[in-house]
Amino acid sequence: MLITGISGLLGNNLACYFRDKYEIVGLYNYHPVTIRGIRTEYCDISNHDSVWGIIREVDPSIIIHCASLTNVEECEQQKSITKDINVIATGNIVECTKNQDVKLIYISTDSVYDGTRGNFSEADKPNPLNYYGQTKFEGELEVAKKDNSLIFRTNIFGWNIQDKKSLGEWILGELEANRQINGFRDAFFSSIYTMEFARVIDIAVRMDLKGTYNCGTSDSCSKYEFAKKIAARFGFSKKLITPISIDDFGFKAKRGKKLTLNTAKIQKDIDYRLPTIDQSIESFYRDYKCRMPQDIKLEQKATEEISSHINYGRQCIDHNDIQAVVRTLRSERITQGPEVEEFENRLVEYCGAKYAVAVNSGTAALHLACLVSDIKEGDEVITSPNTFVASANCAVYCGAKPVFSDISLKTYNILPDEIGAKINNRTRAVVPVHFAGQSCEMDSVYNLVKKKEEEFSQKIMIIEDASHAMGSFFKGKKVGACSYADMTTMSFHPVKHITTGEGGAILTNNEQFYNKLRRLRNHGITKVPIEMFGDDVAYQPVTALNKSELNPWYYEQIDLGHNYRITDIQCALGLSQLKKLESFRNRRREIVDMYNQAFQGTAGLQVPYESEHCNTNFHLYVVLIDFVSIGISRAEVMKELERQGIYTQVHYIPVHTQPYFQKKYHTGWGDCPNAEQYYQNCLSLPLFPLMTDSDTKRVISAIKKVLV
């Protein structure tokens, strides 16, 4: 049995109900959950490939599709996400099971009805009043395309695994805290306890029921009466509940008042008496007495403890990634096979350059780009001081001298004018680094380099270090397309936009560079006949027509290269990750927006600036904090956050101040004042796609607390 929305109230409760009867796989999106005896997996079901992968692997005989955005107000405000989850995801599940013998059960809602007169039967025409109801009805239409499917229109309450509370739990919590609450006297429903609903689903599955059914309690009441019934059963004073009209509450989304369900059809077809509201509340109470809420939350605690550590960045690996790697491990070739080539093809397709060469790290990518640029002793390579040491080391590996050019205090990227001042007749390359994901002003860099090439009558290569910037744009052009560069390098380290464990790539539009890069990642060895020297040993005549054929064992080393080969195992992971890059990008953007909004106007803290020329896929979220004026050091801030399980980082200690460079190249403090000033105040906050909204809020509130 596959259950979507396993972290939600119904998904979790169904898993508990069915776990002894079925082998269950539960899917969650942003809220990892642990449930005893059940395999839970992260899966973005709005992504067709992800759904396809999990269904192919699990091969379920029953799918209960509970995943849904259910907050009526949020649905009205966030229509595109609501559509993705309530409609597109449902369509994906239908599409991916269309030729399979799978029982699909879709959990819909009483909100598909308009609530004007109540006692709705399945024959009544749906007429949803709000976007939630509308998208759930559109989901029903998708499900109805599949034979043998079953749709339940319902309204439920129960014990939730998460802090988010269903109506019953919320009422109880407020009463326990002795708080006065309002109850709608003019909103009627037939809300059924989740475990009672589970029993109905159980019978329906066994009877192979098909079609659309209402499922709620056999009677109905107003929400005010419901609250009073809860108070009575749990022994609290009903005086705490005030009757009000739903019209007085100020909801933005329209809501029906009489959403009561006629449940005659299901009762007849499965020959089962549905509980009354009183009976449903009685079961809710009984499970409370048996410690069900504590038990399900206890199981969850273990997961929360794991996810309570929020690193500044981390990989996002799902089931499909694991399967892709496992498939390759079982295949004939685990290195330099079909996955490497396919990964390179997809990189080219995604980035828009002509060629890609995948290697085993971002550092290797930079080194090979420098080798292909023929950088050698006596040459100079200009790069940013605000980067990882690899952007400078690549020049050092070739015997060249790294030269550091200062950054903008707005974008923290290298300044084109500063580069201009550093170019001389020894300059062979410029390595602009797109820090934190935001592209450098590449048109200015390009124009300046062209001018200097003319001035010094020499070729100056532009090698973009885009380790942080996969999926970013500059002036509408994709980073990686090499629109302003000879080569662009990427890194696929776990904290980056996609990961291959370790890995990197070089993109280029130059065929000669491409051929040489391929050789250099493999010791400088070639098997391409036109690149070879030794004709006499390479070939032997094989036919009467005197045509020659390359000897089967033959290869030549024609350059000095390295073993920078990436494996098929890594590229299988990379390919699977690439499919999710856009959803990763969207999630990163959501988190950045949450941070920006929350920190706007916070004294002593500056949020990242985004140039109007850029559309950035943020790799890092760097804030500047005026540690001196808030009177607490960065180390103390980091330690305090760490105590709360929040791990921040500093990107970067200016490279020219590292002892190695100081000693070897006589660089030092004072060389790049902007980078040094930036370094005093910067702090990278956690940012990765698996971060939940509550993780993000936790970081926000911890930062705000530490600043006051």
Ligand X SMILES: Cc1ncc(COP(=O)(O)O)c(C=O)c1O
In the bound complex, what is the minimum distance in angstroms from residue 461's beta carbon to ligand X? 17
- Using CB under 6 A, which residues numbered 1 to 20 contact ligand X? none
- Give min distance, CB of 466 to ligand X, in A: 8
What is the sign of the dihedral through the CA atoms of 170, 173, 175 and 179?
Answer: negative
Q: Cβ-count burial of 24 within 10 angstroms (0-12 exposed, 13-18 middle, 19+ buried)?
A: buried
- Among residues 151 and 517, whose Cβ is nearest to ligand X? 517
Strands (E), 323-388: 355-359, 380-383
Strands 548-550 and 380-383: unpaired
- Between 41 and 465, whose beta carbon lies closer to ligand X? 465
Residue 502: CB minimum distance to ligand X, A: 6
Q: How far is the CB of 435 from ligand X (least distance, A)?
A: 7
Residues 6+ apart with CB under 8 A from 186: 222, 245, 246, 247, 257
Between residues 644 and 649, which has the closer beta carbon with respect to ligand X?
Answer: 649
Residue 593 contacts residue 607 (beta carbons within 8 Å): no
Long-range contacts of 166-174 (CB under 8 A, 24+ apart): 166/9, 167/191, 167/223, 167/226, 168/193, 168/226, 168/230, 168/281, 168/284, 169/293, 171/226, 171/227, 171/230, 171/231, 172/230, 172/234, 174/240
Contact map string, positions 447 to 476, toward ligand X, x by CB under 6 A: ------------------x-xx--------
CB of 384 to ligand X, least distance (A): 9
**Nearer Cβ to ligand X, position 300 or 617?**
617
Shortest approach of ligand X to residue 433 CB, angstroms?
5
Instruction: Find out whether the peptide bond into 652 is cis, omega within 30 degrees of 0.
Output: yes
d(CA 105, CA 615): 41
Nearer to ligand X, 136 or 656 (CB): 656
Separation between Cα atoms, residue 488 and residue 484, nearest integer Å? 9
Task: Candidates 46, 212, 383, 491: give the one binding ligand X (CB under 6 A).
Answer: 491
The residue among 63 and 655 lying less far from ligand X, judged by its C-beta, is 655
Taking the mean position of all CA atoms in its chain, how far away is CA 486? 31
68 or 393, CB closer to ligand X? 393
Q: Helix, strand, coil % (nearest 5) of the chain?
A: 45, 15, 40
Residue 361 CB burial class (10 angstroms; 0-12, 13-18, ≥19): buried
Least gap, CB of 358 to ligand X (angstroms) = 12
- State the nearest-atom distance from the C-beta of 486 to ligand X, in Å: 17
Q: How far is the CB of 434 from ligand X (least distance, A)?
A: 8
Residue nearest to ligand X (CB): 362
Question: What gap in Å lies between CA 171 and CA 163, rounded to an integer?
Answer: 14
Which residues 495-524 are close enough to bind ligand X by CB under 6 A? 504
Give least dist CB 388 to ligand X, A: 4
Name the residue nearer to ligand X (CB basis): 156 or 369: 369
Residues in the chain: 708
Please name the residues in contact with 222: beta carbons below 8 A apart, sequence gap of 6 or more: 183, 184, 185, 186, 187, 188
Q: In what order do the strands lie in the sheet with 62-65?
A: 39-42, 25-28, 2-4, 62-65, 103-109, 150-154, 211-215
Q: Which is nearer to ligand X, 315 or 467 (CB)?
A: 467
Contact 513, 356 (CB under 8 A): no
DSSP state of 437: G
End-to-end Cα separation, the chain, in angstroms: 50
Window 616 to 635, contacts with ligand X (CB under 6 A)? none
**44-63: which residues touch ligand X (CB under 6 A)?**
none
- Nearest-approach distance from CB 300 to ligand X, in angstroms: 34
CB nearer to ligand X: give 281 or 394.
394
Closer residue to ligand X in complex, CB, 103/496: 496
Q: Looking at beta carbons only, is 315 or 491 nearer to ligand X?
A: 491
**CA separation for the pair 430, 445 (Å, rounded):** 9
Whole-angstrom distance, CA of residue 334 vs CA of residue 492: 18
Handedness of CA 134, 97, 1, 262 (dihedral sign): positive
In sequence order, the 6+-apart residues with CB closer than 8 A to the CB of 497 are 470, 471, 581, 584, 585, 588, 617, 619
- Identity of the residue numbered 505: A
Minimum distance of ligand X from residue 331's CB (angstroms)? 25
- CB closer to ligand X out of 194 and 467: 467
> What minimum distance in Å lies between the beta carbon of 651 and ligand X?
8
Residue 470 burial by Cβ neighbours in a 10 Å radius (0-12, 13-18, 19+): buried
Looking at beta carbons only, is 387 or 570 nearer to ligand X? 387
In the complex, the smallest distance separating the C-beta of residue 497 from ligand X, rounded to whole angstroms, is: 12
CA–chain centroid gap for 664, Å, is 42
| Interactions with ligand X, residue window 358-417 (CB under 6 A) | 361-363, 387-388, 390-391
Quote the least distance from Cβ 75 to ligand X, whole Å. 39
| Shortest Å distance, C-beta 468 to ligand X | 6
Number of residues in contact with ligand X under rule CB under 6 A: 14
Retrieve residue 472's tokens: 């970013």
Nearest residue (CB) to ligand X, 427 versus 491:
491
Asked if 433 interacts with ligand X (CB under 6 A), we say yes
Residue from 65, 257, 493, 518 touching ligand X (CB under 6 A): that is 493
For residues 232 and 172, the answer to whether their CB atoms sit within 8 Å is: no
Q: Mask of contacts with ligand X, 319-358, x by CB under 6 A? A: ----------------------------------------
Closest to ligand X by CB, 107 or 566: 566
Largest CA distance in the chain: 106
Q: What is the number of alpha carbons within 13 Å of residue 511 lying toward its C-beta?
A: 0
What's the chain's Rg over C-alpha atoms?
31
- The nearer residue to ligand X, 323 or 335, going by C-beta atoms, is 335
Put residue 606 in one of left, alpha, beta given phi > 0 → left and psi -120 to 50 → alpha. beta
- Report in angstroms how near the CB of residue 393 gets to ligand X at its nearest: 9
- Residue partners of 659: CB distance under 8 A and separation at least 6: none
* Residue 63 three-state SS: strand
Binding residues for ligand X, per CB under 6 A? 361-363, 387-388, 390-391, 433, 465, 467-468, 491, 493, 504
